[in-house]
Amino acid sequence: MKELVCIVCPKGCRLRVDEENGYQVSGNSCLRGAEYGKNEILNPTRVLTSTVKLEGGLYRRCPVKTSAAVPKGKLFDIIQALNTVTLTAPVSVGQVVLKNVCGTGADVIATKDL
Amino acid sequence: MCYDLIVVGGGPAGLAAANSAYEKGLRNILIVERDKELGGILNQCIHNGFGLHRFKEELTGPEYAHRFIEMLKDTSVQVMCDTMVLAVTENKEVHVINTEKGYQVLQAKAVILSMGCRERTRGAIAIPGARPAGVFTAGSAQRYLNMEGYMVGKRVVILGSGDIGLIMARRMTLEGAKVLACVEVMPYSGGLMRNIVQCLQDYDIPLYLSHTVTDIQQKDGRLSHVTVSKVDESRNPIPGTEMEFDCDTLLLSVGLIPENELTRGAGIRMDSRTNGAVVFENMETSIPGVFACGNVVHVHDLVDYVSQESEKAGAAAADFVLNPKENESALQLQNGFGVSYTVPQQVRISRIEKNLEVFFRVRQVFGQSVIEAKDGENLICSFKREYMTPGEMQQIRLPRVMLDKVHGNAVTISVKEA
């Protein structure tokens, strides 16, 4: 039995995941919590948010995120990849910055019009 | 020229209020914003977790702001950026200044105050020691890093475990800094549990509860060491418990203060518990037609609730202009055991449609407990809770039908342990 705090929403439910019984989750108050509990044991993932260099915009950085949750172990590799990117204004929300970043299947997309 | 409504501040509160006032029929609305663009603090909050209640999806700060800014595009709401409001008067004159048109006095029929809040600084908590470079509030470090493109340090200690501090612990780590510790004077964290998990535990950053920074040392003008000590139950440092951290940066996440210079200047009645205006059920202040919403009234932990509260203020401002009403006597909401404040503080029952939404915070950590609303000794309603901490704002809905039965002129909200 593993105890976790769910991070899907700000409620912070205290989950218990039964590793010996098909990763059954208890303590969750929604279905997303059950999914989180199972994934957190088998393959923990996070949505990564960061910034990339921006030229010609109101500010010098443009905020970005991964379009889906990516394996925790890849976060620092993705940050490295972002360090090589320079965008030029104008940038719009949802614009793809890096496709299939580090082979995760997720894209890095801009999160602000600049 | 007279505006129907002037909204002071174009952050999440002002945006939601202006949109809602437009929806309710006002057309001549102006938002005044001091920064170069709308969105307020959301522009630097590049992390996700916004909008789970409002939009049922997880957005970053800039994306959440974008949704509201897009809504404005289809309206006649006007926006004046890069403009500072210097004063708001009792008769709803708004004094503004910018480099383009200089000093102007604008007249409005209604005003919404949505100026947000500011961070408490080193001065506010009086940390002893040297005064070198390298001490930042977490929010200013966040702006440097996420918008201006400056890395503020390499080895970091964070004082305070509020959400901004926790978010910055992760952000600095991802950008290559070593975060040595997050230090919290209280025996519990001031931030959301999910942020402890995904910002500290994910990166093995230790959290020292019941500890504080007791000395700051410098070398060549830059921070070189901080001393952290354990504190006793009355938050006094315990001699002999000192730990030294070799670091170049100290980030402070030690609380937020509603930014109410304009509110006080207008002569609006204030609440010393929230450091914000005293408000009625529709977010109206003690000056009829002047409303306040968002973090300028009380500090929220979720922007979704700021939007919700501000939409109420926007709708009420529209109602004030389009359907003026006689003022009437109000019921007082009082805080009983375990409750540190309520918003609203005053209620005109006839103006409530179905439910009265009450936001409040508890004074201490509660396990299984019951929130009670009482008219003297009579219980009006009660609400069960599994777990409550001062770091998480509570919300209850009191039905109008129950409030109609109140005999006295006050309702007390209190907590009873189950």
Cβ count within 10 A of residue A75: 21
Q: A93 in contact with B at a CB cutoff of 8 Å? A: yes
pLDDT at A23: 87
Kindly give the residue spans of alpha helices, DSSP state H, lying in A19-106.
Answer: 31-42, 75-82
Burial of B125 (0-12, 13-18, 19+ CB in 10 A): middle
**Domains of chain B listed by start with CATH number:** 1-118+256-325 (3.50.50.60), 121-254 (3.50.50.60), 328-418 (2.60.40)
B131 versus A7: which is more confidently predicted?
A: B131
Rounded CA separation B121/B67 (Å)? 32
What CATH number matches the domain at A49-110, 3.10.530.10, 3.20.20.140, 3.30.830.10, 3.20.80.10?
Answer: 3.10.530.10
* Domain boundaries defined on chain A: 2-42, 49-110
pLDDT at B304: 94
State how beta strands B346-347 and B331-335 pair. antiparallel
CB B110, CB B325: distance < 8 Å: no
* Terminal alpha carbon distance of chain B: 58
Rounded CA separation B235/B152 (Å)? 29
pLDDT at B189: 85
Burial of A1 (0-12, 13-18, 19+ CB in 10 A): exposed
**Closest in A8, A58, A111 to B46, CB measured:** A111
Percent of chain B with pLDDT over 90: 86
Residue A4: list chain B partners with CB under 8 A: 197
pLDDT at A20: 87
pLDDT at position B248 over 90: yes
Residue B60: list chain A partners with CB under 8 A: 49, 63, 65, 111
Q: Which residues contact A48 (CB under 8 A, 6 or more apart)?
A: A65, A66, A70, A75, A78, A79, B174
pLDDT at position B119 over 80: yes
pLDDT, one tens digit per residue, over B15-33 is: 999 999 999 999 999 999 9
Asked whether the beta carbons of residue B192 and residue A50 sit closer than 8 angstroms, the reply is: no
Rounded CA separation A72/A83 (Å)? 18
pLDDT at B325: 87
What residues pair up with B243 in beta bridges, in sequence order?
Answer: B228
Angle (CA) B167-B116-B346 rounded to 5° is 120
Rounded CA separation B249/B182 (Å)? 12
pLDDT, one tens digit per residue, over B192-203 is: 888 999 999 999
Q: Which residues contact A77 (CB under 8 A, 6 or more apart)?
A: A102
Confidence of residue B301 (pLDDT cuts 50, 70, 90): confident
Residue A66 Cα, gap to closest chain B Cα (Å): 10
pLDDT at B123: 86
Question: Quick one: tokens of B40?
Answer: 């307020």
Q: Which residues of B300-316 are buried (b: 16+ CB within 10 A; e: fewer)?
A: bbbbbbbbbbbbbbbbb
Question: Quick one: tokens of B368?
Answer: 């299984």
Hey, of A29, A61, A86, which one would you mutate to test binding to chain B, going by the most B CBs within 10 A of its CB?
A61
Whole-model pTM above 0.80?
Answer: yes
What residues pair up with A63 in beta bridges, in sequence order?
Answer: A51
Cβ count within 10 A of residue B237: 20
Residue (of A47, A86, A80) closest to A66 by Cα position: A47
Confidence of residue B52 (pLDDT cuts 50, 70, 90): confident
Query: At residue B32, what are phi and psi to the nearest 5 degrees?
Result: -110, 125
**Which whole number is the average pLDDT over B83-88?**
98
**Which whole number is the average pLDDT over B205-220?**
96
pLDDT at B22: 98
pLDDT at position A12 over 90: no
pLDDT at position A10 over 80: no
pLDDT, one tens digit per residue, over A55-104 is: 999 999 999 999 999 999 999 999 999 999 999 999 999 999 999 999 99
**Closest in B63, B146, B197 to A51, CB measured:** B146
Asked whether the beta carbons of residue B194 and residue A93 sit closer than 8 angstroms, the reply is: no
* Terminal alpha carbon distance of chain A: 47
DSSP assignment of B246-299 equals: E-SEEEE---EEE--HHHHHTT--EETTTTEE---TTSB-SSTTEEE-GGGTS-
**Which whole number is the average pLDDT over B147-159?**
96
pLDDT at A101: 95
pLDDT, one tens digit per residue, over B342-359 is: 999 999 999 998 999 999
**Closest in A7, A61, A79 to B194, CB measured:** A7
Asked whether the beta carbons of residue B193 and residue A111 sit closer than 8 angstroms, the reply is: no
Residue A6: list chain B partners with CB under 8 A: 194
**Closest in B48, B66, B148 to A47, CB measured:** B48
Task: For residue B11, give the DSSP letter.
Answer: S
Rounded CA separation B67/B55 (Å)? 10
| Alpha-carbon separation of residue B183 from A94, B156, B157, B192, B205 (angstroms) | 37, 11, 8, 15, 11
Q: A16 in contact with B at a CB cutoff of 8 Å? A: no
Cβ count within 10 A of residue B122: 18
Percent of chain B with pLDDT over 70: 100
Confidence of residue B168 (pLDDT cuts 50, 70, 90): very high
pLDDT at B388: 87
CB B19, CB B124: distance < 8 Å: no
